[in-house]
Amino acid sequence: MKIFVDSADTAAIRRLAEAGLIDGVTTNPSLIAKAGADFLETVGELAAMVQGPVSAEVAATDYDGMMREAAVLAKIAPNVCIKLPLTMEGLRACRALRAEGRETNVTLCFTANQALLAAKADATYISPFVGRLDDINLDGGDLLRDIREIYDNYPALKTQILAASLRSANHVTDAARAGADAATMPPAVIESLVHHPLTEKGLSAFLDDWRRTGQRIA
């Protein structure tokens, strides 16, 4: 499963990219606003940090506006992936952009039927929002499994499942078990995946034993 970082924090993203832990980046207007950064400049910075896709979302809600904004975003870098809302206008723009050879990420997916339509529009990625479903006492993992089953039933559908709105290590495990092609999450969630109390306890014991030997490696 590919791991994307969901953030506009360039320092955090650079740290993860240098460690080789991420395969791409996703952003949205809320993340850019939170960072207080210039949208187009930030997308350009992120695209230079990673070789994989950097999802940049349009702000327009009508087809013509989406296409105009997508043209601007696509000029920033070859690895910019155009992020579109899961609406009829968004799906229309998705189909048109894919015909131009652009990668697309259709976002705000909450049902398997929405995911099916996105695949029919030839979306590169579909982003089911796992955490937001959990917030209203629905199982976001069930949605991932439903989409996986439907896509696997029809090999002609090439859309990749990008599990989104992941807020914990358990969400990441669930996404991987469900067969998501990729998962996107905040930097803190990625960093949490490495931690386990037994790992830290074991390392502390090893270091204590090593110090008692009085030896050095270098």
CA separation for the pair 28, 164 (Å, rounded): 12
Let me know: does 58 contact 86? Beta carbons within 8 Å. no
Let me know: does 55 contact 83? Beta carbons within 8 Å. yes
Number of helices (H) and strands (E) in the chain: give both, helices first: 11, 8
Nearest by Cα to 95 from 123, 115, 74, 67? 123
Which DSSP letter does residue 161 get?
A: E
> Which among 2, 34, 75, 83 is annotated as catalytic?
83
**Within 13 Å and on the Cβ side, how many CA atoms surround 84?**
37
Let me know: does 163 contact 180? Beta carbons within 8 Å. yes
Which DSSP letter does residue 158 get?
A: -
83 included as an active-site residue: yes
Catalogue the active-site residues: 83
